Amino acid sequence: MEVFLIALVAVTLAEVGDKTQFVALTLSARLQKPWPVLAGIFAASLANHGLAAIGGVWVASLLPREVIIWTVGLGFLAMAVWALRNGGEEEAPPVSLKGAFVTTFIIFFLMEMGDKTQITTAALAAHYSTFFWVVAGSVSGMMVVNAPTVWFGHCYGCRVSPRFLHRLSALIFAAIGLWVLASAW
C-alpha cells in the first residue's frame, strides 16, 4: 500500500500543469463527451503506465531520446493543425461516444510516451520491483489531476467562443511543439 501512495503522489505532482493535462482540457472542451474522454484517459494511462512498469528502465533504453523528442514535438504540431481544422464559429461535427473514446485514447497514449509521468512510473517500478501497486498508484494519480480538468473543459468549454478556443489551443500546441523540437537541437 505504501508503494501505491508513493506512486499516487509522485504522478499527481508530475501531472499538474503537464502537457497531457492541457490535452485533456482541449479534448473535453472540443468533444463535449466527458465520460468517454475520462474513459480514454484512464485506458491510455493504464496501457501506457502498464508498459512503463513492465519494462521499467529497459523500455526507455529501447528508443533513442531524439526519437521520443521528435515524436512528441511533431505530435504537438499535429494537434495545432487539428485545433485549427474547425477554427470557425461553426459547431464541431458530432462525435460518437466510441469516437471520443478512441480519439482520446490514441492522443493521450502517444502524448504520454516519454512523459515525466511515464518515466516516474518506470523508475518506481524498477525501484520497488512491483507492477500492480505502481500502476494502480500512477493511474490513480493521472485521474486525480485529469478528472477535474475534463469536467472543467466540459462545463466551461462551451461558454468560450469556438474560434477563440481553437486558435488559443493551436497557438499553445504549436508553441509547445516548437519548444520540444528546439530542445532536440
Average pLDDT over residues 42-66: 76
Q: Which amino acid, residue 36?
A: P
Confidence (pTM): 0.71
Average pLDDT over residues 10-24: 84
What's the CA gap between 152 and 38, in Å, rounded?
12
DSSP state of 91: P
Q: Exposed, middle or buried by CB within 10 Å (0-12, 13-18, 19+), for 98?
A: exposed
pLDDT of residue 90: 47
Lowest mean pLDDT among 39-53, 106-120, 142-156: 106-120
pLDDT of residue 168: 73
Q: Going by C-beta distance under 8 Å and a sequence separation of 6 or more, which residues neighbour residue 3?
A: 124, 128, 130, 133, 134, 137
Q: What percentage of the chain carries pLDDT values higher than 90?
A: 23
pLDDT at 150 over 70: yes
Residue with cell 461516444: 97
Q: Would you list the DSSP string of 149-171?
A: HHHHHHHHGGGS-HHHHHHHHHH
Confidence bin at 44 (pLDDT 50/70/90)? very high
Half-sphere exposure of 121 (CA within 13 A, CB side): 36
92-147 tens-digit pLDDT = 555 566 788 999 999 889 888 878 888 888 878 877 777 889 999 999 999 999 99
The mean pLDDT value of the chain amounts to 79
12, three cell numbers: 499527481
Choose between 160 and 93: higher pLDDT.
160
pLDDT at 36 over 60: yes
Confidence bin at 42 (pLDDT 50/70/90)? very high
pLDDT of residue 86: 53
pLDDT at 89 over 50: no
Q: Which amino acid, residue 21?
A: Q
Residue 89: CB atoms within 10 A of its CB come to 10
